[in-house]
């Protein structure tokens, strides 16, 4: 069976923050217990006054006052713990940010070293050397630029070829088509057919004539 995902490593900072949060939670629970006691002492003082026991009521009120002072101190301790926890967590975030900036700076330095001005100049020089070599090879093969007089000779040869080809193109022109008269568009009317009674009478007349 494959191994499961690795558990995140717990650092000393994580343990310290966890311990501080536990102390904070314990103080909150202690505050809630003191609040219950204060409320109970307040009710006992009221009952003692109702029973006419003033000294006993004053005793309960003293205890209640002490518990309230303790609660106020726990609030101060809670505030200090919350500030300490927040400071530690923020410092850890700052540490991560500084680490990220350090890594980014190293990458930037590496890129700058790879794209230094000297290297760029060397690449441009190499390209210029290759271009010069190509020009030299072209000159050796006679593929360099023509002079002004040579360009004029080329233009004259082109014009002579155009004059030579022009008469042949005129001979090859197709003859014009003979235009034929248009066909009639009127349709002749059909002769009316003879009625069956007329044809029958004509046959009888031919039969009655002597042979």
**Which one of 97, 115, 133 terminates a domain?**
115
| Same domain assignment for residues 151 and 80 | no
Instruction: Report the C-alpha gap between 211 and 203 in whole angstroms.
Output: 14
Domain total in the chain: 2
**Which one of 147, 165, 183 terminates a domain?**
165
| Same domain assignment for residues 25 and 86 | yes
- The reported pLDDT for the residue numbered 190 is 47
Domain, as residue range, for 129: 118-165
| Same domain assignment for residues 52 and 130 | no
Instruction: Report the C-alpha gap between 103 and 108 in whole angstroms.
Output: 9
Q: What is the 3-state secondary structure (H, E, C) of 51-119?
A: CCCHHHHHHHHHHHHHHHHHHHHHHHHHHHHHHHHHHHHHHHHHHHHHHHHHHHHHHHHHHHHHCCHHH
Q: What is the pLDDT of residues 149-192, one digit of tens each?
A: 877 888 888 888 888 887 665 555 555 555 555 655 555 554 44
- Residue corresponding to tokens 């029973």: 51
| Same domain assignment for residues 108 and 17 | yes
| Same domain assignment for residues 132 and 66 | no
Q: What is the pLDDT of residues 89-108, one digit of tens each?
A: 888 888 888 889 898 888 88
Instruction: Report the C-alpha gap between 92 and 103 in whole angstroms.
Output: 17
**Per-residue burial over 69-82, b = 16 or more CB atoms within 10 Å of its CB, e = otherwise:** eebeebeeebeebe
Instruction: Report the C-alpha gap between 69 and 38 in whole angstroms.
Output: 11
């Amino acid at each position: 069976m494959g191994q499961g995902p690795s558990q995140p490593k717990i650092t000393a900072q994580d343990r310290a923050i966890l311990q501080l949060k536990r102390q904070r939670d314990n103080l909150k629970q202690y505050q809630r217990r003191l609040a219950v006691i204060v409320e109970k002492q307040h009710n006992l003082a009221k009952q003692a006054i109702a029973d006419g026991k003033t000294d006993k009521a004053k005793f309960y009120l003293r205890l209640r006052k002490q518990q309230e002072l303790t609660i106020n101190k726990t609030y101060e301790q809670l505030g200090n713990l919350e500030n300490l926890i927040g400071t530690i967590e923020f410092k850890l975030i700052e540490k991560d940010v500084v680490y990220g900036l350090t890594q980014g700076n190293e990458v930037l330095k590496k890129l700058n070293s790879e794209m230094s001005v000297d290297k760029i100049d060397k690449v441009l020089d190499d390209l210029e050397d290759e271009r010069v070599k190509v020009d030299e090879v072209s000159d050796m093969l006679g593929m360099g630029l023509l002079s002004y007089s040579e360009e004029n000779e080329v233009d004259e040869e082109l014009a002579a070829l155009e004059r030579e080809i022009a008469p042949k193109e005129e001979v090859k022109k197709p003859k014009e088509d003979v235009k034929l008269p248009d066909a009639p568009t009127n349709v002749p009317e059909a002769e009316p057919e003879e009625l069956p009674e007329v044809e029958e009478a004509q046959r009888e007349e031919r039969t009655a004539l002597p042979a």
